[in-house]
A = this chain, B = another copy of it.
Amino acid sequence: MNAPAALTHLVPEINLRNIPDALIEALKARFGANCSTALVVREQHGRDESSFQAPPPAAVVFAESTQDVADAVKLASQYDTPVIPFGVGTSLEGHLLAVQGGISIDVGRMNKVLSINPEDLTVTVQPGVTRKQLNEEVKSTGLFFPIDPGADATLGGMAATRASGTNAVRYGTMRENTLGLEVVTAGGDVIRTGTRAKKSSAGYDLTRLMVGSEGTLGVITEVTVRLYPLPEAISAAICSFPSIEAAVRTTIQVIQLGVPIARVELIDHNTVRMVNVHSKLGLREEPMLLMEFHGSPTGVKEQAELVQEIAAEHGGNAFEWATTPEERTRLWTARHNAYFAAIQSKPGCRAISTDTCVPISRLADCLLDSVKEADASGLPYFLVGHVGDGNFHFGYLLDPDKPEEREIAENLNHQLVARALSLEGTCTGEHGVGLHKMGFLVTEAGAGAVDMMRTIKRALDPKNIMNPGKIFSL
């Protein structure tokens, strides 16, 4: 399968704008020591987990309040200068790179949980709060925040990229779980979107317009999200399969039967091996599903029995249970470290991560052919997936000094995306478009829809200063 012509976007276009000295002086005057131009600080804010590189931003403002963010944006606007919001830098798609120059606004110090409303199952946080911190702070209420993209990302960053992760199959993504936002607009105004009501038909859904807008329409300065009662019972199980296909077909059937499984993650045999080495585990080196069941004790038992039955039909082994919280944490930590385990398996390598998501019935078609292609390429890779949602990630491991390896990886990615789109799926289930998928977006959404996005962007950010050069070209 050849990738269509539109599917070519290998490296970011660097197109630096002039940053006036007067802006830097004004920022220093306003923010003092909270505005840094030290190279090490700028470099730290000019990269993310993607394999791309660009010159660092001209300055970093450490915002401590919404007012700080608003003032920084107003100054940047005055000098027509790009603004890039920064949380903890876990983006995978080059979102944080200053491809047109500009300043980084680090919201990491805005890390307060502002109000917990246990009786309404909601919490309002500043954008720099990370998901682990949030769960720590709400623990005593008996509630939890389920969205778990693996990395300990900030809520602001998760909202900006419409993140999801392992629990989304049951609890949804940031799209479903964000009730409202406070946002600093391109003009430096502060607006609020949404209320704490569970549903609303009050005007345009600005909350969901901002969720997933990747910093291109405003800077998120407050996030209100839903919480959930900690399930009465939680059980995690591992099930090994004779083939990836058997694991995938089990997953498809589980979802089609409507089992309210909380997590169902695929890890292929190669990746299990990498994880075993990295996390010192003795997992059977076969394709496996790592599952978690939430509910009442009876409900969890019912779900698990049904899934075990389906797995057995596909040749799955008996479930191995992780019943204590410690065992569960150990397993999920190993799963979340798959990326680092893979990176360490090939010293000095970088990974190009894929992120396609397809309707569940197309999952086997999409995944199995892509495994064949990856195997044939000779490039080492990891393969993990939130397969219950039809979403999975190959990580092709390449030597950054060998352009031919990057080319192989990009070709594999292009073939995978082309396949996913032909199966009515999306090029990105949860990582966002950033720099890397701009070409794919046009193929997926069509020129008309992308034009509508551009029109909105131009209207809300006429100077094109909010994280420019991401999602689409203007």
* B161–A258 CB distance below 8 A: no
Interchain nearest-CB distance for A462 vs B (Å): 10
Residue with the highest number of chain B CB atoms closer than 10 Å, among A357, A430, A452: A452
Given the known interface contacts A191-B446, A258-B228, A445-B192, the answer about A201 and B360 at a Cβ–Cβ threshold of 8 Å is: no
* A193–B119 CB distance below 8 A: no
Interchain nearest-CB distance for A297 vs B (Å): 10
A213 near B: Cβ within 8 Å? yes
A377 near B: Cβ within 8 Å? no
Given the known interface contacts A175-B208, A191-B446, A431-B201, the answer about A460 and B453 at a Cβ–Cβ threshold of 8 Å is: no
Given the known interface contacts A258-B229, A445-B202, A458-B459, the answer about A429 and B197 at a Cβ–Cβ threshold of 8 Å is: yes
Residue from B173, B201, B455 within 8 A of A161 (CB atoms): B201
* B173–A453 CB distance below 8 A: no
* B197–A425 CB distance below 8 A: yes
Q: Which residues of B contact A206 (CB under 8 A)?
A: 445, 449, 452-453
- A298, B306: Cα distance in complex, Å: 14
Q: Which residues of B contact A472 (CB under 8 A)?
A: 203
* B449–A199 CB distance below 8 A: no
* A199–B173 CB distance below 8 A: yes
- A449, B202: Cα distance in complex, Å: 11
* A120–B359 CB distance below 8 A: yes
- A204, B212: Cα distance in complex, Å: 6
Interchain nearest-CB distance for A88 vs B (Å): 18
- A441, B193: Cα distance in complex, Å: 12
Q: Which residues of B contact A471 (CB under 8 A)?
A: 203-204
A427 near B: Cβ within 8 Å? yes
Identity of the chain B residue whose Cβ is nearest the Cβ of A359 in the assembled complex: B120
Given the known interface contacts A196-B425, A208-B175, the answer about A430 and B201 at a Cβ–Cβ threshold of 8 Å is: yes
A222 near B: Cβ within 8 Å? no
Q: How many identical subunits does the complex contain?
A: 2
Given the known interface contacts A200-B429, A212-B205, A471-B203, the answer about A195 and B117 at a Cβ–Cβ threshold of 8 Å is: no
Q: Which residues of B contact A212 (CB under 8 A)?
A: 201, 203-205
* A196–B429 CB distance below 8 A: no
Q: What total of chain A residues lie within 8 Å of the partner, measured CB to CB? A: 87
- Binary interface encoding of chain A residues 341-364 relative to chain B, with 1 for a CB under 8 A from any of its CBs, else 0: 000000000000001011111100
* B122–A359 CB distance below 8 A: yes
Q: Which residues of B contact A198 (CB under 8 A)?
A: 357, 359-360, 389-391
Identity of the chain B residue whose Cβ is nearest the Cβ of A447 in the assembled complex: B191
Q: Which residues of B contact A460 (CB under 8 A)?
A: 452, 455-456
- A445, B201: Cα distance in complex, Å: 12
* A202–B120 CB distance below 8 A: no
- Binary interface encoding of chain A residues 401-442 relative to chain B, with 1 for a CB under 8 A from any of its CBs, else 0: 000000000000000000001001111111111000100110
A140 near B: Cβ within 8 Å? no
* A211–B205 CB distance below 8 A: yes
* A201–B428 CB distance below 8 A: yes
A378 near B: Cβ within 8 Å? no
Interchain nearest-CB distance for A155 vs B (Å): 16
Interchain nearest-CB distance for A153 vs B (Å): 13
Q: Which residues of B contact A358 (CB under 8 A)?
A: 197
A45 near B: Cβ within 8 Å? no
* B176–A172 CB distance below 8 A: yes
In chain A, residues 136-180, which have Cβ atoms closer than 8 Å to a Cβ of chain B?
161-164, 168, 172-173, 175-176
Identity of the chain B residue whose Cβ is nearest the Cβ of A172 in the assembled complex: B176
Q: Which residues of B contact A252 (CB under 8 A)?
A: 119
- A189, B196: Cα distance in complex, Å: 36
* A204–B200 CB distance below 8 A: no
Interchain nearest-CB distance for A17 vs B (Å): 23
* B205–A229 CB distance below 8 A: no
* B430–A162 CB distance below 8 A: no
A242 near B: Cβ within 8 Å? no
* A456–B453 CB distance below 8 A: no
Residue from B119, B176, B257, B459 within 8 A of A361 (CB atoms): B119
A-B contact pairs, 16 of them (CB 8 A): A162-B205, A168-B199, A185-B452, A195-B426, A195-B444, A197-B358, A197-B425, A199-B391, A202-B440, A202-B444, A203-B212, A204-B471, A206-B452, A298-B298, A455-B460, A459-B459
CB-CB nearest 6 A-B residue pairs: A459-B459, A229-B258, A119-B361, A208-B208, A200-B426, A191-B448
